């Protein structure tokens, strides 16, 4: 009997969830943004470097999972603050615990809730790793709420209507167990001036 590799099963699960509409995802209990998939640390670093996160920045991570992106923005890139928005309350508790252990609870916060209801106006940088079927809605929200010049880094899936300022493609072995492929694409956007 032939066994099926876990990475193959995981990549099919991600694909199946990607094909769900937000309404179907809600009906099945799956989050519309996708299942929790931790962003490998090598990709976290590349996302933050691509956005040029620094001391003047406030980062918001949409779908923040275990909090690693928000924490790294403050701890490693010296951002003045960061927040993570995550629908799974158990992951929010886990992320808050990580921030506390790192001694960053005063500058990194995590909020349990729907990313569409979250206020992102104070962000100078937004990071996301969300499934493509909701990115049109995410893009509209970011255009409405973010100040011109704010940077957005999307992991693997492009925003549907904005032209990226930069696209970075690379491979990392850390990603293979998650998606079955080492390939990663990061898209950097800048919020345009309002007309």
Q: Is the pTM of this model over 0.75?
A: yes
Question: What CA–CA distances, in Å, run from 98 to 91, 104, 162, 182, 188?
Answer: 10, 9, 34, 27, 27
Residue 9 has pLDDT above 80, yes or no: no
Q: Does residue 178 or residue 135 have the better pLDDT?
A: 135
For residues 19-30, average pLDDT: 36
Under the banding of pLDDT at 50, 70 and 90, the label for residue 32 is low
Residue 171 structure tokens? 């491979």
Q: What percent of the chain has pLDDT over 90?
A: 75
pLDDT in tens, 53-89: 999 999 999 999 999 999 999 999 999 999 999 999 9
pLDDT at 33: 59
Read off the pLDDT band of 192 (50, 70, 90): confident
How far, in whole angstroms, is CA 98 from its chain's centroid? 17
CA distances (Å), origin 53, targets 45, 49, 173, 186, 190: 10, 6, 24, 15, 13
> How far from 25 is each of 65, 71, 116, 170, 179, CA to CA, in Å?
18, 29, 15, 30, 20
pLDDT in tens, 12-24: 333 333 333 333 3
Average pLDDT rounded to a whole number, residues 100-115: 97
Reported residue count of the chain is 195
Return the pLDDT at 94. 97
Q: Which residues, at least 6 apart from 138, have a Cβ–Cβ distance to it below 8 Å?
A: 62, 115, 116, 128, 130, 159
CA distance 164 to 126: 14
Largest CA distance in the chain: 62
Q: DSSP letter string over 140-175?
A: HHHHHHSPTT-EEEEESS--SSSPPSEEEEEE-GGG
The CATH class of the 6-190 domain is alpha beta
């Amino acid at each position: 009997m032939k066994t099926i590799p876990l990475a193959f099963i995981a990549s099919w699960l991600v694909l199946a969830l990607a094909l769900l509409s937000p309404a179907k995802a809600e009906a099945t209990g799956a989050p519309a943004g996708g299942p929790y998939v931790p962003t490998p640390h090598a990709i976290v670093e590349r996302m933050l470097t691509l956005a040029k996160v620094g001391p003047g920045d406030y980062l918001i991570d949409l779908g923040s999972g275990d909090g690693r992106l928000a924490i790294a923005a403050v701890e490693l890139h010296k951002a003045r603050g960061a927040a993570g928005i995550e629908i799974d309350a158990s992951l929010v508790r886990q992320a808050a615990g990580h921030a506390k252990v790192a001694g960053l609870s005063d500058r990194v916060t995590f909020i349990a809730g729907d990313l569409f209801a979250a206020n992102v106006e104070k962000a100078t940088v937004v990071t996301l790793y969300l499934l493509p079927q909701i990115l049109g809605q995410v893009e509209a929200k970011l255009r409405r709420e973010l100040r011109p010049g704010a940077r957005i880094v999307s992991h693997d899936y492009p925003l549907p209507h904005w032209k990226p300022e930069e696209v970075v493609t690379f491979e990392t072995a850390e990603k293979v167990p998650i998606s079955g492929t080492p390939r990663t694409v990061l898209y950097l956007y800048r919020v345009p001036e309002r007309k």
